[in-house]
Structure 1
Amino acid sequence: MASVCCDLEVDVNGEETFMVEKRIMTLYSGRLSRLFGKSTSSTGNFKVIFNDFPGGAESFELMLRFCYNNGGIEITPYNISLLYSAAQFMEMNKSISGVHNLMERIDKSLQDGNYWTWSEILVIIKQCQDILPLENCSGIIEKCMDSLIGRIAMPGEPSPCASTSSPESSGFRFSFDTRSTESLKNSFSRANWWFDDLLVLSTALVEKMINSMVSRKLDHAIISKFLFYYQKSKFQSAKSDEKCKIVETVIDMLYILDWNSVSFKSLFGILRISLNLEISKSSRNKLEIMIGSQMDQSTLDNLLIPSPQGTNYLYNVNLILRLLKAFLCEGICQISTPRLRKVARLMDLYIAEVAPDPCLRTSKFLALAMALPDSARDSYDGLYRAMDMYLEVQVHSGLSEEERVKICCALNYEKLSAEVCIHLSENKKFPSRSAVQALMSQKIKLKSLLRFANDTKVYGDSPSPCSLSGKGQKNEASDQIVLYAGKLDLSPDKEELKAHLQGMQWRVIELEKVCMKMQNQMTKILKSRVPSHSNARSLPRLCS
């Protein structure tokens, strides 16, 4: 009798062979109904081979129970994924009178999903991602994701208890502790209680989950912490190609968050990891843009990233240049002055750190020196010291005069201190034109300051301009300041003005001393560096 009824042999993925009744199977399955509807033979045995049946023999057997029991099967969180995958594959969504529709039964069970426990939902998701392509189970996955996110977002931050797998469990517990230290600990755990549970998700499902969390306006700081935790945890057992996919997913998801909510230190951690992986160019660009936009939060240690393998220079200068480009991409006008100055100070330290590298090309050093606009620096003393170190190394390797001049063009001599200008004028590593230009800029600056000092008076005849080289006029400006201060009828509310004038007096005296020293130094330079014969060439043009 059994041999008469079981006229269809089904091979499921080579795992197991089932003998079934063709009439019953075609009644429930649209796939088999179409297959045998084209058959010209109405009698005899048939054989069907499925090589890609989702869920394998276990899923097929559950589907048979549904068919042979006239739809009388209990759908639970532990079999719904298997039944769903089988129903999709076998096209069991027929609406024939008297025939139970498996897909309708599954959809009804999904509507009751709010009663499932946390761990039951995780079981469903885990089964779905193991047996079905993501696009083939989007309906059930979305329902489960919504349920998980709803529970994560619940006020009071519930966490699943140890017995969530039991049907009687509500799936939640609330932790209250009156002790201060334990309270802080519990507060931290309440925010992150779900991190470990969601490590079962594949990268594709993590991407889907994070997008859903963002759309439901969950805290971006917590989301970013989970992504960093996910990356760190999954790396422990991942292979090289899997690591690439994990890092790419984490970067892409961090990119859609509010970057102010993302740990800058952790971003640099991801950056250092990604440098040893062949991640996509798109993900790498996103990471560099996120870091570059917050460049003012960096430290020198952050930037000292070793150069890629196969290169002979010490540090990854090209990466830092790209980060600077990302920092400046929003436009100079949009970046506050304090942020710009902070990055400039950081870059001066970085350039000084990489300057001693004998393999650092002149073009790269110059690119670093000129990456930021002039407005970023109120002083070029730091950059000068970095140049001094670079030339110390490079001069011995045959750096040409032209290349040294090109490097010095990155300096703004007007923003060099007097002490640095004097040091530059005595520095044989720098070209002569740089020494002259530094001294000239200081001379102009001193003239301006001394003229300002002469013009600062309350009343009296206008003094003659102070000359840097005129004999008999030494301390003229300072004498005038003392004179004017002495003539003032100072009342208590003018004490501030008196202090200002007296301070200016001492400043002018200092400036005159520096001026005289610079003038003597310039005379020596001109005598030592300019040929004395009649057809001597004029001094070269200074860097503009």
Structure 2
Amino acid sequence: MKYMKLGIKPDTFYTEEAIRSVLSDVPTDLIIHVNNTKYLLHKFPLLLKCGLIQHLCTNIDNETDQPIPIALHDIPGGEEAFELCAKFCYGIGINLSAHNFVAAISAAKFLRMTESVAKGNFIAKLELFFESCILQGWKDSIATLQSIWKLSGWSDDHRIVQPCLDSVIRKILIHPSQVIWSYTYTRPGYTKKKQRKAAPKDWWTEDVSDLDLDLFRSIISTIRSTKKLPAALIGEALHVYACKHLPSPLEIQGQAQCSSARTDDTLNKHRKVLEAIVSMIPSAPGSVSGRFLFRLLKIANYVGASSSVKAELVRRSGRQMDEVTAYDLIIPSTSNPQSPDISIVHAILDNFLLQFRRPMPPEETERMIMSMTKVGRTYDSYLQIIASESSLPVSKFIELAESVPEMAREEHDGLYQAIDTYLKGHPELSKTEKKRLCRMIDCQKLSLEARSNAIANDHLPLRTIVQLLFVEQEKSGVGSSKVAHVITPPNEVSYATVDRDDTRRSRRGPEGGHRYKEPALGPGAEKTRMVPSPSEPKMAKERKKKDQEFGAKYKRK
């Protein structure tokens, strides 16, 4: 960053009893009030350079030898800026940089320190510094833009803002290999000490993210209009700006638990930033990541963004749902930040599935099927997380689970785990509701580990366990070269018995029941059989004895 030094005299300003003055043998004849500070100064050096003070002193009738009082409470930049101008008038050395340039030139224009008042006046020197130093540097232009918004009420700032914006945009659009100035880049794993032929493509994003929202939006809009930078690079700049000016998911969670942290001013500020970022996201697919879109959705619910902004985020998030994890889908509700917003995730899934309703070439079809399978796994993991919500009704849970197409679930392990979690978290469910839940499980699509776990699961209806036992026998291929076992699926009669036993088991509780694995049948046995239940131990023993006798007879033959 560049500096300019003006004046050669030592700094003789001092403070005594809250009054600023200058060491001099000449008595002070001017009292200037700037906000809460009182300055005891001299007319001669100030009248030579400041047209405003000349005018004010001329209009004041002062026939006594008392110092003339002047109030300059509305001077831009306050005491610091006024003191720079006063020291320039006294010839005291001052250092100018991009950090104090705006305050200095604003105060100098306010005091009318022009060439018509004195040759080589302060404004002319400041403008020379602006043209030759600030506009030529990268961080100088950024720092000037940052400081200009700290001064309110100064209407002439467009003469500074636009040239700085043009300088910044011009540097952003050049090739990274031509970047020779310093910039801020704190990405993990990046070190500037390494020999690099060119700067990173996103070298400018961190410095630009320090700017006020209006300035940032102006830069991004101009860059997009040139169409010289890829959409992903624009998206990266938006991501960096959001990380710096919007709360993180952890901050949202913490502030949701503390209502005092959610002030109206803070929420309004965050809402304004969020809506601006959403409006600047390029339309090109993949310009921002799916996880970033879901993060914006969480913030949108937290700050109470407009319905149109939420709808746009839902639409974009749906197109990139295959890029996120189950925890990205946990979006706090607007009304109750402690509970997940289930409806918005359902809407995102609907938008994801809309992509499959349009015709697509074979290569894209294969890619989309892979995406759907990934979304199916992610969605089942999401169901496992929300299944423990006590306020989630069984009808809504079933609706959510059935919203995923069957082709998205290559296996039902995730769905089974979600249903198991729901059953454990809602012990008050009726037998009918449990059956409705478990009817969604395709036992054929459960892995061996999941089937083994489900067979021993006391929370599942007995009907489901019977189906699992049948599938287990079928997949294990029970049989031998001498005995051909006939495996038959349970029929309606056996299901009626199972339902009756299931009712009795539910009365005794999950710990009071016993399960019996149905023995394999020989060739001569009946194909229609009733599954032994805890209520029929005697019948089970007799049937087992007959099967053993039949097997022995078959061996003798």
Aligned to 1:57: 79
Aligned to 1:472: none
Shift in CA distance, 352/387, structure 1 to aligned 2, threshold 3 Å: closer
Match of 1:389 among 417, 420, 434: 420
Identity %: 21
Amino acid at match of 1:398: E
Amino acid at match of 1:260: G
SS at match of 1:517: coil
Amino acid at match of 1:362: V
Aligned to 1:124: 144
Shift in CA distance, 431/220, structure 1 to aligned 2, threshold 3 Å: same
**CA deviation profile, 1:341-360 (whole Å, cap 9, x unmatched):** 54234313432454466675
Query: TM-score with structure 1 length normalisation?
Result: 0.53
On the 8 A contact 1:294/1:327 being kept in 2, the answer is no
Amino acid at match of 1:263: S
Aligned to 2:401: 369
Match of 1:517 among 481, 488, 491: 488
Shift in CA distance, 349/48, structure 1 to aligned 2, threshold 3 Å: same
CA distance in 2, matches of 1:281, 1:525: 53
Match of 1:221 among 232, 237, 249: 232
Match of 1:85 among 92, 106, 117: 106
Aligned to 1:12: 34
Between stretches 98-107 and 244-253, larger displacement belongs to 98-107
Shift in CA distance, 36/400, structure 1 to aligned 2, threshold 3 Å: farther
Aligned to 2:196: 186
On the 8 A contact 1:159/1:193 being kept in 2, the answer is no
Count of residue pairs the alignment pairs up: 412
CA distance in 2, matches of 1:282, 1:102: 49
CA distance in 2, matches of 1:134, 1:417: 73
On the 8 A contact 1:28/1:67 being kept in 2, the answer is no
Between stretches 15-24 and 205-214, larger displacement belongs to 15-24
**Superposed displacement of residue 85, structure 1:** 1.8
CA distance in 2, matches of 1:267, 1:154: 29
Amino acid at match of 2:224: V
Shift in CA distance, 215/24, structure 1 to aligned 2, threshold 3 Å: farther
On the 8 A contact 1:80/1:124 being kept in 2, the answer is yes
Matched, 1:149 2:169: yes
On the 8 A contact 1:425/1:521 being kept in 2, the answer is no
Shift in CA distance, 332/194, structure 1 to aligned 2, threshold 3 Å: closer
Shift in CA distance, 67/80, structure 1 to aligned 2, threshold 3 Å: same
Amino acid at match of 1:214: R
**Superposed displacement of residue 524, structure 1:** 1.6
CA distance in 2, matches of 1:129, 1:144: 13
SS at match of 1:60: helix
Matched, 1:262 2:284: no
Shift in CA distance, 195/431, structure 1 to aligned 2, threshold 3 Å: closer
**Superposed displacement of residue 140, structure 1:** 1.2
Amino acid at match of 1:262: V
Aligned to 2:305: 281
Shift in CA distance, 291/278, structure 1 to aligned 2, threshold 3 Å: same
SS at match of 1:125: helix
Match of 1:299 among 318, 321, 325: 325
Aligned to 1:463: none
Query: TM-score with structure 2 length normalisation?
Result: 0.52
CA distance in 2, matches of 1:294, 1:130: 39
**Superposed displacement of residue 144, structure 1:** 0.9
Aligned to 2:382: 350
**Superposed displacement of residue 399, structure 1:** 1.0
**CA deviation profile, 1:244-264 (whole Å, cap 9, x unmatched):** 767974784365223612234
Aligned to 2:70: 48
Shift in CA distance, 157/47, structure 1 to aligned 2, threshold 3 Å: farther
CA distance in 2, matches of 1:363, 1:21: 87
**CA deviation profile, 1:271-298 (whole Å, cap 9, x unmatched):** 78x59x9645359947666544411222
Aligned to 2:12: none
Unaligned runs of 5+ in 1: 165-180, 439-512, 532-544
Match of 1:400 among 419, 430, 433: 430
**Superposed displacement of residue 150, structure 1:** 0.9
SS at match of 1:261: coil
Alignment root-mean-square deviation, CA = 6.2
Shift in CA distance, 350/185, structure 1 to aligned 2, threshold 3 Å: farther
On the 8 A contact 2:271/2:305 being kept in 1, the answer is no
Aligned to 1:452: none
CA distance in 1, matches of 2:434, 2:200: 60
Task: Give the structure with the higher percent helix.
Answer: 1
Aligned to 1:322: 344
CA distance in 2, matches of 1:120, 1:427: 68
**Superposed displacement of residue 154, structure 1:** 0.9
Shift in CA distance, 133/360, structure 1 to aligned 2, threshold 3 Å: farther
Amino acid at match of 2:320: Q
Amino acid at match of 1:523: V
